Amino acid sequence: MSDTLTRRNFIQRLAVVGTVVVGAGALAACGTEGAGTDTDDATALACTDVSALTEDEKTTRTTLNYVDASVTEGKNCTNCQQFQPDAANATASCGKCLVVPGSINPGGYCDSWAEKTA
Ligand code: SF4
């Protein structure tokens, strides 16, 4: 009888230890990944605050499929005719656009992209 209890206890403890080890490993991995993400977020330029815009202006951004980071090779806001860069820092600050209301990322893109000619 005590032999059965010992075996049962051993298996239960093995399961608990295994769960703890797997859980600790998962937490460690999350901690490392989270630290990298925080660093990336701190250095990334985000021009996504639409809190000061009207509903119509927000709709324009959405309708034209504005994105903060272009996925269309060779096309982004910096080489678009409509982009109005920030005077103080053209590439590292949010700018404006003649078509899309609100803050515009130099690396952004939308359906109204037009090649800059001058
Ligand atoms: S029209 Fe579109 S691609 Fe051109 S600057 Fe404005 S948001 Fe960027």
Q: Considering the entire predicted model, what is its pTM?
A: 0.65
Domain residue limits, the chain? 1-44, 45-118
Q: Pocket of ligand 1, candidates 84, 112, 115, 116: which has the most ligand atoms within 8 Å of its Cβ, to mutate? A: 112
Whole-number Å distance, alpha carbon 97 to ligand 1 midpoint, is 6
Q: Which has the closest alpha carbon to 91: 101, 102, 74, 76?
A: 76
One digit per residue, the tens of pLDDT, for the chain of length 118 reads 445 555 555 445 444 444 443 433 333 333 333 333 333 333 489 999 999 999 999 999 999 999 999 999 999 999 999 999 999 988 899 999 999 999 999 999 999 999 999 7
44: Cα separation from own chain's centroid = 9
CATH architecture of 45-118: Irregular (4.10)
Whole-number Å distance, alpha carbon 40 to ligand 1 midpoint, is 24
Question: Of ligand 1's atoms, which has the minimum distance to the CA of residue 84?
Answer: 5
- In DSSP terms, 95 is beta-bridged to 104
Q: Which has the closest alpha carbon to 100: 81, 116, 72?
A: 81
